[in-house]
A = this chain, B = another copy of it.
Amino acid sequence: MRVCDIGERGLLERLHRFCPTGVVGDDAAVLSFPTFHQLVVTTDTLVDGVHFSPATTNAEDAGWRAVAANLSDLASMGAFPIGITVSLGLPGETPVQWVEGLYRGMKDCLDRFETTIVGGDLCKSPVVSVSITAFGRVKPDSIIRRSQAKPGDSIVVTGVHGASRGGLELLLNPETGQTLSPQQRDRLIRAHQRPMPRVDAIAALWEACDGEMRVAGMDSSDGLADAAVQISRESGVAAQLWLERLPIASELSAMVSQETARQWTLYGGEDFELVLCLPPESARRFVSQVAGASVVGEIVDGEGAWLVDGDAREPLTMQGGFQHFKGEA
């Protein structure tokens, strides 16, 4: 059954099952909003053939990843999610099953954080596109910004990196996983297909800070190195990552060379962990409370982002970053 077989109304009826009752029916959704909070908003579009393909991407995973990326953007500002809207562009020949799978994947991810789809829009399009806008709430004194790192801060990550890149490699070239156990393979693939936004780390963070609320940071969706570069630039400081403390996903050492494992850890991207800068004492409390979190470097006077090995250091770049359009017509 294709979308053009049941029409817009037929599709809407099916998709309403994934939304809370009472939300849909008017031109817009109404959400209650707590007092003394600020509204945090982020938006993201995925396009068939650019970010995913119904031909090769499982619909559920595409939905999960789309939601996870947006919730991670909220978490990277210190915000808790309160809802999302979804705008779908669909060719008439899109299978209804694919669209339902997409919504199922989105709902699966939202359910983990007690959040829902509060509204949306369907329209005809020559290519599948999924635009999500996510809303969150944050207290004004609890906002995480890239610009507020200070010399002396520890740099903390909420988990290992490079796993998503490793999972992608296994999906593209399964033979590269011959040296891995089935469990190791599954963990890497799952890291790629079902990344978990670190909303859970926000509550632990404020507990660890115990009133000292200045935390700088962002998520590592574009890579750990990219996060270090962005934070150093926005804060006017230097960010140093320690080579011996690089948060390399353990599975990678059984799969690729140490050099490749480091590259993927720094530049792989899409791990959706948080990269946070906070005073050392708070950082110690935080990593003791959040499984998988670790201190990986420090903020010092100066500029740029660096990988430090004893007395030697080399610059981190945004080379792994993904710049759309440039040089392509």
Contacts and interface: CB of A to CB of B under 8 A. Distances in A.
A40 B31 CA distance: 6
Interface stretch (A129-137, A200-208, A236-244): A129-137
Contacts of A86: 43
A44 B27 CA distance: 10
Contacts of A73: 27-28
A29 interface: yes
Q: How large is the interface on A (under 10, 10 to 19, 20 to 34, 35 or more residues)?
A: 35 or more
A141 interface: no
Contact of A121 (B25, B39, B44, B83): B44
A125 B127 contact: yes
Contact of A126 (B2, B25, B92, B126): B126
A50 B125 contact: yes
Interface stretch (A107-115, A143-151, A155-163, A255-263): A143-151
Given A4-B328, A124-B324, A329-B93, A218 B27 contact: yes
A29 B188 CA distance: 32
Interface in A1-46: 2-4, 6-9, 11, 25-33, 35-46
B8 A325 contact: yes
Given A92-B328, A324-B7, A325-B11, A76 B28 contact: yes
Contacts of A283: none
A35 B36 CA distance: 7
A50 B79 CA distance: 36
Contacts of A46: 123
Given A29-B42, A45-B129, 11 more contacts: A7-B327, A8-B325, A26-B76, A26-B146, A27-B76, A33-B38, A41-B135, A43-B131, A50-B124, A131-B133, A135-B135
